[in-house]
Amino acid sequence: MTFPLSYFLFFFSLVLGPIISISSTSWFGAWIGLELNALSFIPLITLSMNPYYSESALKYFLIQALGSAMLIMSSFLFTSLLKLASIMLFLALLLKLGSAPFHFWFPQVMEGLGWPQAFLLMTIQKLAPMILLSYLIASSLVIKMTLLAAIISAMVGALGGLNVTYLRKIIAFSSINHMSWMLAALSIGDSFWLFYFLIYSLIVLSVTTTFHSLQTFTLSDLIQSDYSSPYNAALISMNFLSLAGLPPLTGFIPKWFTIQIMVNLNLFIPLFFLLASALITLYFYLRIIVSFLIMYNPSMSFNIKSKSLTISSPTFTMSLTLNFLGLLLPVYFFIV
C-alpha cells in the first residue's frame, strides 16, 4: 500500500509535529506537537475501509489520548510536586513510545498496520517522545528509571518474540528490544541514541521495503514467496541478522558504541540484560532464517507454490548494501 497524493498533507503535519515538540520552549508547546503528530498519523492508518486498520487506529488514538492526559496532569504538578511531576511525565512519554512496562498496545497496533505505516510507527512516531525524554535526563532518579525501563524493555522485547509467526508482531517486539538500547544510550548522552536511532531507522526501512514489496505478513507468506533466486534468500537473511545486531553487519555498529560506553561507565548490570536479550532475539531470528533456507533448498520445496519476482533489482541492491555497510567499513572498531 502506498500513500495517495491527498495524504501528503497529513504526512507533512506528521513531520511538523516532532519539529514543534523539539523546538518548543515549554511543555505546552511540546504537547501540541505530540498531538499534531498523533492526529496526523491516524488518517494515514485508515487508508481503506479495513476493520484491522480501523481497530489499530482506535487503539492508537486511545493510548495517545491517555498519554496526553498523563502529560497534562503532570504539568499541573510542576508548581508544587516537582519530583512526582517528573516521574509522571517520564511515564507518559514511555507510554507514548510503547516502551516497557507500557508496551502492551504496541504489538497489537502493529499487527493491524501495513508495512509503510509500521515503518512510520517505529521511526518518526518515536522521535519526539525520545527527544522530550532526553530533556528530563537531569537528575539521578530519572537516569535510574531510564535504565530500569531499558532493562524491562530488553527482556520483554526478547521473550515476547518467541513462538510468534506474524512478521509484524516479530518486528514490533524487536522494536521494543531496540528501544531498550536507545534508552540506555539516552541515559549516557544525546549523540549516542541519535546515532542508534539513525542506523535503526535505515535497517527498518530496508526490512519494511522488502516485506512490502513481497506482500508478506506471516512466516508462511515468507516461505511461499519467490525463492527462485539465492539473491532473495540472502537479502532477507541479511535483513534479519542486521536487525538482530550480529557483527559485522550494520546493526552491530550502534550496539558496539553503546557497549563500549556502558563498560567505561561501569554499567554492567543493565549491559548484562541488554546482551542477554540480544542473544534471545538472535535466536528467534536464526530460527526464521534456518527454516527459510531449508525451504529454499530445491529438494525441500516440492510443496511450495512459486511466485513471480515482485521486487526490483535496485531495491534488493540498496537493502543488501545497507546491511553490509558494517562489513565494508570495519573502521568503527578503531574509532572508540
Q: How many CB atoms lie within 10 A of CB 12?
A: 11
Does the pLDDT of residue 66 top 90, yes or no? yes
> What is the Cα gyration radius of the chain?
20
The pTM of this model reads: 0.88
Alpha helices by DSSP H, listed for the chain, are 8-23, 27-45, 51-76, 82-97, 105-111, 115-122, 124-136, 140-160, 167-188, 190-214, 219-223, 230-244, 252-264, 268-296, 313-323, 325-328
**Residue that wins the pLDDT comparison between 333 and 131:** 131
How confident is the model over 266-286, as pLDDT tens digits? 999 999 999 999 999 988 888
Q: Where are the domains of the chain?
A: 5-334
Residue 300 has pLDDT above 60, yes or no: no
* List of residues 6+ apart from 105 with CB closer than 8 A: 59, 60, 63, 98
Contact between 130 and 197 (Cβ < 8 Å) = yes
For the stretch 149-179, pLDDT in tens is: 999 999 999 998 888 888 899 999 999 999 9
Q: Give the pLDDT score at 328.
A: 65
Residue 191 has a pLDDT of 85
More confident of the two residues 223 and 250: 250
pLDDT bracket for residue 105 (50, 70, 90)? very high
Interacting residues of 287 by C-beta distance below 8 A, sequence separation 6+: none
